[in-house]
Amino acid sequence: MNLNVPITVSELSRRIKDTIEAGFGDVWVVGEITNLRIPSSGHVYFTLKDKDAQIRAVFFRSGSRFLKFRPADGLEVIVRGHLSVYETRGEYQIIVEYMEPKGVGALQMAFLQMREKLEKEGLFDPAHKRRLPLYPKRVGVVTSPTGAAIRDILKVLKRRAPGVQVLLAPASVQGEAAPAEIVSAIADLNRIGGLDVIIAGRGGGSMEDLAAFNTEAVARAIYGSSIPVISAVGHEVDFTIADFVADLRAPTPSAAAEVVAGSEEEIFKAITSLSARLLTSVRHAVRYARGRLEAEGRALVDPRKAIHERFLRLDDKARRLTLGMDYGMRARRQGLVQCAVRLAALEPLAPLARGFAIARGLPGLDVIKDISEVEVGDPLRIQLKVGELDCRVEGKRGSE
C-alpha cells in the first residue's frame, strides 16, 4: 500500500475497514452496557465499556430477538462478534452476534427480570388467588399427551378418586412453540367451561427445558383464567413464573393430582367424623329437652304451689315499694318543715305577735324609724298585731 500518493477520505476509510475486518476474526469481549438505545427497528445499539476504554456495539434485530433477557444500562455482559468500521463517520464498532449476562445465565437473568416485572403489575398478589374446590368433579390438564406428567396424574386420580373426569388439552411443554400452545390450551379449557380446576405442568428438567413456563404469555394466560389453575412443574429450581401466578403451586404433577382429588378413604373418614359429631349433638339436645320437661312436669303436679310463689314475690315487691315511698315522703316532709321555719323567721310582721308595733306618719303612712322624723302634735297611725291606732305625738324622748 503506497501511502505517499494522496487518496480520498472514503478510500482511506475503506482501507482501514478492510484492514481491521481482515485482521480480526470473532472476538469475545467483556464490558458494561451504557448508552443503550433500541429504536422501532428492533436493532440494539449500545456502548461497551470498562474503566479505561469503550467501544460502540450493535446487535441487529435478526439476532437480538432471540435474547432470553432484557439488556439494560449498567449490566455487565459477555459478547461475541466481529469488528467493523462505519465508514460514514470513520468509527469502528463491534457487530454483536451473541450476548449473555456475566456471572449469571441468560435464562436465569430473564427469569429474574420477568418475575420483577409481573410482580410490580400485581400478578402475584395473593388477593387474586382463588380457593380450590374441596372435591372437584371435572379436572382439565394442560400438558404433553405423550409425557410422563399425564400418566402420573391419571394414575393418582384412578387410585384416589376414580369418579373424577379428566379433560386433556394437549400442548407442547418444551421448545419454541410451547408457550403459544400452552396459552391456547388454557384458553380452550376456559371456553369449554364446566371444569372445577386446571392442572398445567410437566415433568422435571433443566431450566432450558422449563423455559416455556417462565414466559410472560403463559403467566398472563394463567392469571386471566376464570378456572383456578394449579402449576405442577417438576423442576430443579425453586419456582417458575407459572408457580408465582397460579392459584396453587404443586411440586410435581402427581402432587397436583393428590391435591385436587380427596381419596375415597378420606371422604369416608370425614363422613364418619361428621356423623359422630351429629349424633353427639342430638344426644345433648335430647338430654337438655328431657330435663326441661321433667322440671316443668314437677311444677305442674301442684299448680297452687306456683301461684303461691308468685303471690309471695308480688307481696315482697309491694313491701319494698312501700318502704321506698315512706322513706321518700319522710324526707320531703322534713324538708318542708325546715323551709317553713326559715320563711317564718323572714316574715316582717312576725315581731307584732310578740308585742311590738309599727308607727307610720300621716298622711303618707311612711314607717317612722327615728324621733327626728316627727314633731310634737304630728298625727301617727300605730299598727298592732290586731288592728291600728290613730294617735298624736305628745312629746319626744330619746337621742335628742
| Domain C-terminal end among 262, 279, 314 | 262
pLDDT at 397: 82
| Domain C-terminal end among 262, 297, 318 | 262
Domain assignment present for 206: yes
Task: Give 197 or 19, the one with higher predicted confidence.
Answer: 197
Cβ-based neighbours of 206, under 8 Å, separated by 6 or more? 236
Q: CA-CA distance, 195 to 189, in Å (whole number)?
A: 8
Give pLDDT tens digits for 300-331: 556 666 676 776 777 777 777 666 666 867 77
Q: How far is CA 230 from the centre of its chain?
A: 23
Confidence grade of residue 103 (pLDDT, cut at 50, 70, 90)? low
| Domain C-terminal end among 243, 262, 281 | 262
Q: CA-CA distance, 366 to 360, in Å (whole number)?
A: 5
- pLDDT above 90 for 139: yes
- pLDDT above 90 for 172: yes
Give pLDDT tens digits for 260-279: 886 555 666 777 888 888 88
pLDDT at 104: 61
Q: Which segment of 24-28, 170-174, 220-224, 293-297 scores lowest on mean pLDDT?
A: 293-297
Nearest by Cα to 94 from 153, 38, 48, 161 = 48
Domain assignment present for 159: yes
Residues of the chain above pLDDT 70, percent: 85
Report angle CA 158, 161, 162 to the nearest 5 degrees: 50
Starting at the edge strand found earlier in the chain, the sheet holding 229-233 runs 165-170, 138-143, 197-202, 229-233, 248-250
SS3 content of the chain, % helix, strand, coil (to 5): 45, 20, 35
Q: Give residue 217's domain range.
A: 111-126+135-262
- pLDDT above 60 for 249: yes
Confidence grade of residue 150 (pLDDT, cut at 50, 70, 90)? very high
Task: Give 82 or 303, the one with higher predicted confidence.
Answer: 82
Count CB atoms within 10 A of the CB of residue 324: 10
Confidence grade of residue 199 (pLDDT, cut at 50, 70, 90)? very high
Which residues sit opposite 388 in a β-bridge?
A: 383
Give pairs for 59-65: CB < 8 Å, separation 24+: 59/96, 59/97, 59/99, 60/95, 63/96, 63/97, 63/98, 64/96
pLDDT at 218: 95
Domain assignment present for 87: yes
Domain assignment present for 210: yes
What domain count does the chain have?
3
* Total-model pTM: 0.50
Q: Are residues 160 and 255 in the same domain?
A: yes
pLDDT at 348: 63
Count CB atoms within 10 A of the CB of residue 75: 17
Q: What is the CATH number of the domain that holds 38?
A: 2.40.50.140
Q: Are residues 251 and 142 in the same domain?
A: yes
Instruction: Estimate the crossing angle of helix 253-260 against helix 148-160, to 10 degrees.
Output: 30
The stretch 127-144 carries a mean pLDDT of: 90
Domain assignment present for 322: no
Q: Are residues 46 and 14 in the same domain?
A: yes
The two counts, helices (H) then strands (E), for the chain are 10, 14
Cβ-based neighbours of 270, under 8 Å, separated by 6 or more? none
Domain assignment present for 294: no
* Average predicted confidence (pLDDT) for the chain: 82
Which three three-digit cell numbers place residue 333?
316532709
Q: Are residues 139 and 99 in the same domain?
A: no
The stretch 41-54 carries a mean pLDDT of: 90
Q: Are residues 257 and 122 in the same domain?
A: yes
The residue with cell 435474547 is 67
Domain assignment present for 336: no
Q: Are residues 183 and 119 in the same domain?
A: yes
Q: Are residues 98 and 150 in the same domain?
A: no
Nearest by Cα to 106 from 211, 225, 203 = 211
Confidence grade of residue 185 (pLDDT, cut at 50, 70, 90)? very high
Q: Are residues 116 and 243 in the same domain?
A: yes
Q: What is the CATH number of the domain that holds 163?
A: 3.40.50.2300
Which residues sit opposite 49 in a β-bridge?
A: 32, 54
Confidence grade of residue 217 (pLDDT, cut at 50, 70, 90)? very high
Q: Are residues 143 and 239 in the same domain?
A: yes
The CA–CA distances, whole Å, from 156 to 33, 164, 230, 257, 263 equal 51, 11, 16, 6, 10
Q: Are residues 26 and 95 in the same domain?
A: yes
pLDDT at 198: 95
Domain assignment present for 98: yes
Q: Are residues 118 and 98 in the same domain?
A: no
Give pLDDT tens digits for 111-125: 778 888 888 999 999
The stretch 328-348 carries a mean pLDDT of: 70
Cβ-based neighbours of 152, under 8 Å, separated by 6 or more? 203, 252, 253, 254, 257
Q: How far is CA 114 from the centre of its chain?
A: 24
Backbone angles phi, psi at 73, to 5 degrees: -60, 140
Q: Are residues 117 and 246 in the same domain?
A: yes
Task: Give 142 or 84, the one with higher predicted confidence.
Answer: 142
